[in-house]
Amino acid sequence: MRLGQHFLIDRSIVDSIVSHADLGLEDWVLEIGPGEGILTRELAARAGRVYAVEIDPDLAASLCNTAPNVMVIHADALTVRLPQYNKIVSNLPYNISSKITYRLLSRPFDLAVLMFQKEFAQRLKAEPASKIYGRLGMVAGFFSHIEILQNVSRKAFRPVPDVDSAIVRLRPRTERPQVDPRAFMRLADILFRNRRKKVKKGLAAYGVDKMTLAELDQSLINMRPEELTPDQVAGLILAIEKKSDWV
């Protein structure tokens, strides 16, 4: 295992991932952590272009002649300037799941089919007020519609990990409230740093003054962060911005 990555070896799972992505020659696909290229080759056979971002120099070198429509980017997916794409299809490295998911969610895309650890996938799709709902579920639920398509046995990977995985499909929410994504993600982060405290405490840490707090929906700001839906959080941001503009 290199850099925390478990390599997918089950071709039936590869076929399932590619099928869910509904690829055509008009699609430009981003793949994070292609590893040995088992998924990359299938993506290249169906998509117009594939950008494979691989941090491991040896793996990146071995992928360079995969297909004419595959561009290998030897870089850290968390920091590199990402290319233009419309779909994301990846067996994501476990050790960057959270950070890369937050980065990808805030960027435009048409469809994403991603493999996560099963527990991570469940937290991604978690509903407000559930025990596993947190920052991840709030942010993911704000940006996208989430489907857990299929559970995947740990035996589908080499080396065998300690946990099972799941294939998840994300579709952007076109109907979501129009707030600055950076503001939403910042507030979600602040709220769940102190998830046991009331929302008004998090808003104060976000920079909202007492006068503005008094004018917000008191039923919302006296809730706990895990009780709020993503759209309620977005609504609070819009209300705060409106008060600031008025002042």
Confidence of residue 1 (pLDDT cuts 50, 70, 90): very low
* pLDDT of 195 higher than 90: no
The tens digit of pLDDT for each residue in 149-170 reads 999 999 999 999 999 999 999 9
Residue 54 annotated in ligand binding: yes
Helix, strand, coil percentages (3-state) for the chain, rounded to 5, are 45, 20, 35
> CA 162, CA 15: separation in Å to the nearest integer?
23
The share of the chain scoring above pLDDT 90, in percent, equals 93
Residue type, 209: D
Helices (H), the chain: 11-21, 38-46, 57-63, 97-105, 118-124, 135-143, 181-193, 199-206, 210-215, 218-221, 230-246
Kindly list the structural domains of the chain, giving each domain's residue range(s) and its CATH number in brackets, ordered by start: 7-172 (3.40.50.150), 181-246 (1.10.8)
pLDDT at residue 92, as a whole number: 94
pLDDT at residue 245, as a whole number: 58
Residue type, 231: D
Average pLDDT over residues 86-112: 96
Cis peptide before 93 (omega within 30 of 0): no
Residue 33 annotated in ligand binding: yes
* pLDDT of 178 higher than 80: yes
Q: What are phi and psi of 69, to 5 degrees?
A: -95, 10
**Residue 97 region by backbone torsions, left for phi larger than 0, else alpha for psi between -120 and 50, else beta:** alpha
Residue 91 annotated in ligand binding: yes
| Contact predicate 21/89, CB 8 Å | yes
Burial readout 165-181 (b: 16 or more C-beta within 10 A, e: otherwise) = bbbbbbebeeebeebee
pLDDT at residue 130, as a whole number: 95
Residue type, 85: Y
The tens digit of pLDDT for each residue in 33-60 reads 999 999 999 999 999 999 999 999 999 9
Burial readout 35-44 (b: 16 or more C-beta within 10 A, e: otherwise) = bbbbbbbbbb
* pLDDT of 83 higher than 70: yes
pLDDT at residue 4, as a whole number: 57
| Contact predicate 111/52, CB 8 Å | no
Nearest to 117 by CA among 129, 101, 104: 101
Nearest to 43 by CA among 106, 88, 105: 88
To the nearest whole number, what is the mean pLDDT of the chain? 95
pLDDT at residue 124, as a whole number: 98
Nearest to 69 by CA among 42, 38, 91: 42
Question: Does the reported pTM lie above 0.85?
Answer: yes
| Contact predicate 199/222, CB 8 Å | yes
